[in-house]
Structure 1
Amino acid sequence: MPRTALLTAVMGVSMLQLFLIGALAPYLVADGSVSRGLLGLTTTAGFLVAAVLSPAAGTLVDRIGPRRAIVALGALAAVALMLIGVAPGPAALLAAVALGGLPQAMANPATNKVIIAAFEPVARATATGWKQSGVQLGALAAGLPLAGLAAWAGWRAAVWAAAGTALAVALWAWRILPADPARRPVAPVAGGGRVGRWAAYCLFLGCGVASVNTYLTLFAAQRLSLAPVIAGWLVAMLGIAGIAGRVGWSRRAGTLERPDALLWLLAACAGGAALVLAACAVAGPPWGTALVWPAAAGIGAFAAAGNAVAMVAVVRHAQQATAGRDSARVSAGFFAGFALGPPLFAVAVEASGYGAGWAVVSAEFLTAMTIMVVRREKVRA
């Protein structure tokens, strides 16, 4: 369905810069554009902006409508990527990445409103899973064609190609989405404890996912002695597994009365996959080189799916008038985790090595699991 494909592409370009910087990390570090420690701050810059602006972005989307919001999102993503491509140094790079936080904040509110308005209830969970898999499609694009383009023509050329893709998505949205209704005052949103729990879950989930996205390629190149291009394929592995996980688990969640019942299981499995990454760091080549691939697949299949299932829960319970703000509250937690996770990972690595960094990631996933397990026990009681 064209609208599903469009929403998938929108989610992909909204976070493409994250995966692209991760996949291009060896080139960025090698030419002095960014240090290993500063690499984590690039993720923090974008997602701190996204976390802070998410509540306002949700209100804006509810006010102006999803079509206008998605077109603006694609244009902003293109501008941010263009600025990354011409950044002369670390300060300019951080500023450009921070600008990229704006489309990230708008993505889930806008796409969720389209799903609630344009899809029958029976089809919404599957549509949500596919559009959330667009984030992993961005990882696949960063790890395969764009990383390959960087090896051939330089990392800046790869970033410019990504900017062109974002602009094309904006034009696509303008052509196929129906016109937004007349602007109207936004309805008040009722407080919801379950939305707060999903946001807390996504906070810790985001910490771990962002660390993996940002540092996996660099870890494979530095500790496991993989060539930069092959190490970039790990990001593609994350993308492939993430697409399958998000679509499959979202479909399963759509059959449940409470989609969030799956969240604790997904976080637990992701925690186990992160422990395998820690074992890879301890073992080094050749065993670590062999095990890093299934570990990356596990992170993609389970951790990435957790956010998608949380969005299925939002779409199930949200009203059309307030869907943007409900989505934004959950997204704010996820983005805050993306801002906090990589710097914490960098501190752990500098202090005790990559094994400690992946152990921290596992603890973050298991904390997310605990948030949902404790709630399940309260419900049963």
Structure 2
Amino acid sequence: MTPPASPSVRPAPAGEPRAPGTALLLVLLAAMGVGPLFNYGVSMSSTVVIDRLGVTSGQLGTVLTVVFASAAMTSVGLGRAADRLSSRVQMSIIFGGSAAALTVGAVASTLGALYAAAVLAGVTQAISNPTTNRIIRTAVPADRRIGWIGVKQSGVQVSQLVAGLFFPAAALALGWTAASLAAAGLAAVLWAAAVAAAPPLPGSSGARAAARDAAARGGVDRAGSTRAPLPPTVWFFAAIAFLTGLGMQATNTYLPLFAVESLGLSLVAGGAAAAASGVIGVFSRIWWGRRMSAGHRPTTLLAGIAVGALAGVGVFLAADLAHVPALLWAGAAVHGLTVLGANVVINAGLMDAVPAEHLGRATGVNAMGMYAGFACGPLVMGLLRDATGDFRLGFAAVGAGYALALVAVLLLRRHTDRAAAGSTG
């Protein structure tokens, strides 16, 4: 992919955002990837963490449930905050919170202590999409925004790649504490870089000015938040994010353990499969973003993603039922190619559907749906694994979620077609 051009020495015309450089794009990518380092660290080090804490596979899955329940419960409030706080404050929440979560997790000796780290990790991830979407909407020219969304969303998969290559080997060789503290140090270094590169977006004073303008139009309550309801499209996207997120995170969380318990592979091999999925996901998210830039409808792309994700579930089940470990890699590839790209399409669709002053709130609602799905996925997969002794019923539940996501996409398409017909009629 051709990197975005560096800012020109010629000042931008009045009223247009100054052309951003590659440094900002890398900061946004890191902002999306640093929060999930805790999640992936726990997942990729699963057998080490299970032995350290003396818990079951299902109980380990509840750690990820706590992460995403925390994110879901704080997403709407933090989405509103993203419309008010300066970018540097928001970057400090993201990177500083991630470093804190990894540090607390490193010294945790009980499941309850790991839950505390999970709560911190959830808060940092809840604000990452609203923050990065707001920066892109404000600082990036319109013709480059979708491409930037594709790149910054791939930060999650970059995190998956790094964690898949680092955590299994480091946890086995050095222990969970050393591995997690090393990741915390990386988050702290990235924090300093992010604060230095963050654009000077309006802080609370800018938000108050926007609130006064909106109040003059009769649309703000005493707290300064808009009363105007979000369009139905936002809620459709949130439902799709929930259903795809459920399957995505269930698979991400348990893929290494599935490789060990069901296919007889090593934890390092399972982590490598997850890392391979992350590598493919990086390019997949950029590719899905380019499809959006080329003018394809979000519903068309999301329907293809849902169908492909169902095929990936079929590959994982075939690997288990036929005991063909090689199919693990094919399933990981399909997973990376399909469902890992859903958030790019959803976020790009939101940016088109919602005015700039409501984007943080709309992204927060969408993030609430996504993180609720992320919370339910590992919980459902873990409970079904403990109840049945394998992952087959869990993957069947993931497939059901993808099928429902396809139904939601088709309903959204019908809604947008009717809205378009009504506006022209």
**TM-score, normalising length: structure 1:** 0.95
Check conservation: 1:66, 1:113, Cα contact below 8 A: no
1:334 to 351, 360, 370: 370
Partner of 1:267: 306
Equivalents in 2 of 1:63, 1:342: separation in Å? Answer: 33
Aligned residue type for 1:93: L
CA RMSD, 1 decimal: 1.6
1:240 to 263, 279, 283: 279
- Counting helix residues as a fraction of each chain, which structure ranks higher? 1
Partner of 2:126: 105
1:76 to 97, 101, 105: 97
Partner of 1:11: 32
Equivalents in 2 of 1:102, 1:47: separation in Å? Answer: 9
Aligned residue type for 2:127: M
Check conservation: 2:71, 2:126, Cα contact below 8 A: yes
Are positions 1:202 and 2:253 aligned together? no
Structure-2 change in CA distance of 1:66 and 1:260 (3 Å): farther
Equivalents in 1 of 2:383, 2:121: separation in Å? Answer: 24
User: How far apart are 1:256 and its partner, in Å?
Assistant: 1.7
Give 1:280-319 correspondences, 5 Å limit. Answer: 280-284=319-323, 287=324, 289-319=325-355
Equivalents in 2 of 1:127, 1:34: separation in Å? Answer: 41
Structure-2 change in CA distance of 1:193 and 1:145 (3 Å): same
Partner of 1:161: 182
Check conservation: 2:84, 2:203, Cα contact below 8 A: no
User: How far apart are 1:176 and its partner, in Å?
Assistant: 1.2
User: How far apart are 1:350 and its partner, in Å?
Assistant: 2.8
Equivalents in 1 of 2:55, 2:197: separation in Å? Answer: 39
Aligned residue type for 1:194: T
User: How far apart are 1:158 and its partner, in Å?
Assistant: 1.4
Are positions 1:138 and 2:186 aligned together? no
User: How far apart are 1:360 and its partner, in Å?
Assistant: 1.0
Q: Which piece of structure 1 moves more, 246-255 or 310-319?
A: 310-319
Partner of 1:359: 396
Check conservation: 1:68, 1:180, Cα contact below 8 A: no
Q: Which consecutive unaligned segments of at least 5 residues does structure 2 have?
A: 1-21, 215-225, 419-425
**What CA deviation, in whole Å up to 9, does each residue of 1:264-296 have, x standing for no partner?**
210111111012111212122xx2x01010101
Aligned pairs, number? 378
Aligned residue type for 2:100: V
User: How far apart are 1:321 and its partner, in Å?
Assistant: 1.9
User: How far apart are 1:257 and its partner, in Å?
Assistant: 6.1
User: How far apart are 1:113 and its partner, in Å?
Assistant: 0.6
Equivalents in 2 of 1:206, 1:98: separation in Å? Answer: 18
Structure-2 change in CA distance of 1:379 and 1:179 (3 Å): closer
Structure-2 change in CA distance of 1:68 and 1:362 (3 Å): same
User: How far apart are 1:206 and its partner, in Å?
Assistant: 0.9
Paired residue secondary structure (1:100): helix
Give aligned-pair identity as a percent.
32
Q: Which consecutive unaligned segments of at least 5 residues does structure 1 have?
A: none
User: How far apart are 1:180 and its partner, in Å?
Assistant: 3.2
Partner of 2:254: 215
Check conservation: 1:279, 1:355, Cα contact below 8 A: no
Which protein shows a greater Rg? 2
Equivalents in 2 of 1:298, 1:336: separation in Å? Answer: 23
Equivalents in 2 of 1:379, 1:137: separation in Å? Answer: 33
Q: Which piece of structure 1 moves more, 306-315 or 172-181?
A: 172-181
Equivalents in 1 of 2:200, 2:343: separation in Å? Answer: 29
User: How far apart are 1:325 and its partner, in Å?
Assistant: 1.0
1:324 to 360, 366, 369: 360
2:408 to 355, 364, 371: 371
Equivalents in 2 of 1:193, 1:33: separation in Å? Answer: 46
Paired residue secondary structure (2:202): coil
Aligned residue type for 1:117: T
